[in-house]
Amino acid sequence: MRILFIADAVGVPGRRAVEERLPSLREELQADLVILNGENLADGVGITPKLADRMLASGVDAITLGNHVWRRGEIVPYLKDSERVVRPANLSRRAPGRGLAFVAGADGNEVAVINLLGALFLGPPHSPFEVVDDLIDEARTRTAFIVVDMHAEATSEKVAMARWLDGKVTAVIGTHTHVQTNDARVQPGGTAALTDAGMTGPHDSVIGVEAELAIRQMRTGMPVRFETASGDVRIEGVVVECGADGRATSCEAVRVSVQ
Ligand code: FE2
């Protein structure tokens, strides 16, 4: 099985890149399943039901989220019912939505998709390490194919989670920093890992934002209204190949120029 994970899609450029390029890319990469981190789709922060539906209609099988999950209120009822859009599992137990979803790939196999939020800087109610073992146990009752999106700021947390889950899941993919790391690997136990999958959106920017605006805010310490940049749009992510036992056999970063 080949799983394509697409990194954080940002704003209109990210949405367009997926809509226009994913159908052919999916074929080129022979992906059986596509997972997208979509927490920055709505002008850089959050996601709306309409945007989620558009991504799912473009060949995305499951969407993961992150720290901006609640930025758009209209997503709340959608998350309650959605079986393919997952929010971080280590939020409050009373929060709507799910942190684990089962989606079917093109080859008929079911894949468990888990979304976690890093503890450092993002401050979720529970540590991802506190909840992950039970989630893996639950996932393994149904399938050997398990993909974890570890949405976190700190590389240490993402590397530690990948090591902890080695031999227990198919892949641990880091998201959130929007800068693709150069460490795609299959660990000794058969779990693929990449510390950060990168960004699907405008790379002529400061992680998706118009560079001049981000720099102005940092130089002056004053509030600045951020706008999504537009130049050098790429789809970034990772392709993980695994055998029938769910163990990864290869893990390769993907970077495709779209304009
Ligand atoms: Fe994020």
pLDDT tens track for 20-56: 999 999 999 999 999 999 999 999 999 999 999 999 9
**Given pLDDT bands bounded at 50, 70 and 90, which one contains residue 210?**
very high
Name the band, by pLDDT with cuts 50, 70 and 90, for residue 75: very high
pLDDT at 27: 97
Count the neighbouring beta carbons within 10 Å of the beta carbon of residue 206.
16
Domain spans, the chain = 2-257
Phi and psi at 25, nearest 5°, equal: -65, -40
Question: CA 32, CA 10: separation in Å to the nearest integer?
Answer: 24
Residue 153 to residues 58, 67, 179, Cα–Cα distance (Å): 28, 10, 11
CB atoms within 5 A of ion ligand 1 belong to 66-67, 176
Ligand 1 centroid distance, CA of 181 (Å): 16
Give the C-alpha separation, 209 to 230, whole Å: 9
The alpha carbon of 178 and the centre of ligand 1 are apart by a number of angstroms equal to 8
Q: Which residues of 40-73 are buried (b: 16+ CB within 10 A; e: fewer)?
A: bbbebbbbbbebbebbbebbbbbbbbbbbbbbbe
Q: Known catalytic residue: 68?
A: yes
- Distance, in Å, from the CA atom of 83 to the CA atom of 255, rounded to the nearest integer, reads 28
State how far the Cα of 16 lies from the Cα of 130, in Å rounded to an integer.
37
Kind of pairing between the strands at 171-175 and 145-151: parallel
Residue 111 Cα to ligand 1 middle (Å) = 23
Neighbouring residues of 73: CB distance < 8 A, sequence distance ≥ 6: none
* Structure confidence at residue 107 (pLDDT): 84
CATH match of 2-257 with 3.40.50.880: no
Instruction: Report, as an integer, the average pLDDT of 50-79.
Output: 97
Asked if residue 181 lies in contact with residue 159, where contact means CB atoms within 8 angstroms, the answer is no
